[in-house]
Amino acid sequence: MKLSAFGEKFGSTTGIQVLMDDIGDALASGRDMILMGGGNPASIPAVEAVFQARMARLAAQPELLNQVLGSYDPPQGNATLINDLAALFRQRLGWQVSARNIALTNGSQAGFFMLFNMFAGPFKDGTQRQIQLPLAPEYIGYADAGLGADFFAAAHPQIDQLGQREFKYRVCFDELEIGDQTGAICVSRPTNPTGNVITDEEVEHLDALAQANDIPLIIDGAYGVPFPGLIFTQATPFWNQNTIVCLSLSKLGLPTARTGIVVANEEVIQTVARTNAIINLASGNFGALLTQELVHTGEIIDLSNQVVRPYYEQRLDFVKSLLHREMDNTIPWAMHKPEGTMFTWMWFKDLPISSQELYERLKARDVIVVSGHHFFIGIKDDWQHRHECIRVNYAAQTPERIEKGIKIIAEEVRKAYLG
């Protein structure tokens, strides 16, 4: 059987596929695996109670249940939720948007597949354009979303060494090469995998570069504002007619609802909706109907600020104390300054083995993390730093299992340095 170039590309082994396979294999194996690799959100009882009550109301009303199970939404997405989202963004964020500026997708991953291939790849005039990442590491799920090869370009970050075994990546604007070869700029805020939050000044600088080159700035806010609000530092929500903001219901606690939200100018939204009709016919409406009341009242933002974010901040304090206790001074370790998301990004300078080998050793001990080398999308050289980092989810397991996992990580890293 011969596969097309599309079949070969999307049928090959990828970082995101390995990550998702690890989760599935661990759940099916029957082994007591400590899953600290994926992006599964934490189970927060107060949030689950809200969704349980809403599900009960949906099940009790036949007309709503029929919408959930038996009715297609238009390709742009559930009209009621879209109208409520537009009102929420105007009232709470000050964004000048209407329903024509919003589309729903079957999760952010599907949204980025459409957006990336709208703005990069081959053009009718024979040119080829790329998605420019202002800095790497970046989200593993971007890496293979392009239909063609050489789809991404990225700049090495500036690394600022901070106290208390912390460091921070910053955009190195001198290394950014934006021009005729650039189709769009894309950055996650906060950044998966590192928890980095680019500053307001960095956002404004990127916006100025995008507008000067007549290309969009795409901001991935899957972990950010206004929901689920997993930003632990100051960050102003940003949108204008040249900006595409992508949001998600996943990290609020609904990863299986697969509901992504795209906020953009009308031309982009129209193209997303038409593409969605071809690929999916329509987006699923379970997430829309489950959260519509929360969006209409604004409770979705209050729930994020008062319940979701404090929960993750508490877990973050816990894992930081574990790291400082278990890693001690025998290991040259540092973590990225935790400004958001649900991950700790760990850097082991001059690690004698690769991060991939460390991942394999941890997996053999039933601890699943993600090797950092997967996240350096668009970096062309074999930068040593990319083989010295791992991503650890600090929230999806119980405190006892997180503690056990951190102990095992520290043991294996110590073995690697001592030989």
pLDDT in tens, 8-57: 878 877 766 766 676 666 556 667 899 998 888 999 999 999 999 998 98
Say if CB 257 and CB 232 are below 8 A apart: no
Say if CB 84 and CB 113 are below 8 A apart: no
Burial status of residue 54 (CB atoms within 10 A of its CB: 0-12, 13-18, 19 or more): middle
- pLDDT at position 164 is 80
Of 51, 300, 294, 254, which Cα lies nearest the Cα of 59?
51
Six token digits for residue 134: 């202002």
Residue at token pair 């890693």: 327
Rg (CA), the chain: 21
Helical residues (DSSP H) of 133-257, grouped into ranges: 200-212, 250-253
Phi then psi for 46, rounded to 5 degrees?
-65, -35
CA gap 345, 169 in Å, rounded: 11
How far lies 323's CA from each of 67, 309, 327, 346, in Å? 47, 21, 6, 10
Say if CB 335 and CB 344 are below 8 A apart: yes
Question: Domains of the chain: which residue ranges?
Answer: 5-47+303-418, 73-297
Six token digits for residue 349: 């300078």
Q: Beta-strand (E) ranges in 69-147?
A: 102-105, 121-122, 128-133
Which residues of the chain, if any, have pLDDT below 70? 15-16, 18-20, 22-30
Say if CB 25 and CB 38 are below 8 A apart: no
- pLDDT at position 194 is 97
The CATH architecture to which 73-297 belongs is 3-Layer(aba) Sandwich (3.40)
Burial status of residue 269 (CB atoms within 10 A of its CB: 0-12, 13-18, 19 or more): buried
- pLDDT at position 29 is 62
The CATH code for residues 5-47+303-418 is: 3.90.1150.10
Say if CB 189 and CB 203 are below 8 A apart: yes
Six token digits for residue 338: 């935790």
Long-range contacts of 318-323 (CB under 8 A, 24+ apart): 318/394, 318/399, 318/402, 319/344, 319/392, 319/394, 319/402, 319/406, 320/344, 322/402, 322/403, 322/406, 323/406
Say if CB 303 and CB 294 are below 8 A apart: yes
171 C-beta neighbours (distance < 10 Å), count:
22
CA gap 171, 104 in Å, rounded: 30
- pLDDT at position 390 is 98
Output b/e per residue, 16-43; b: 16+ Cβ within 10 A: beebeebbeebeeeeeebbbbbbbbbbe
Cα 64 from chain centre: 31
- pLDDT at position 23 is 61
Say if CB 262 and CB 248 are below 8 A apart: no
CA gap 272, 259 in Å, rounded: 14
Using a cut of 0.95, tell me whether the model's pTM lies above it.
no
Residue at token pair 């396979």: 21
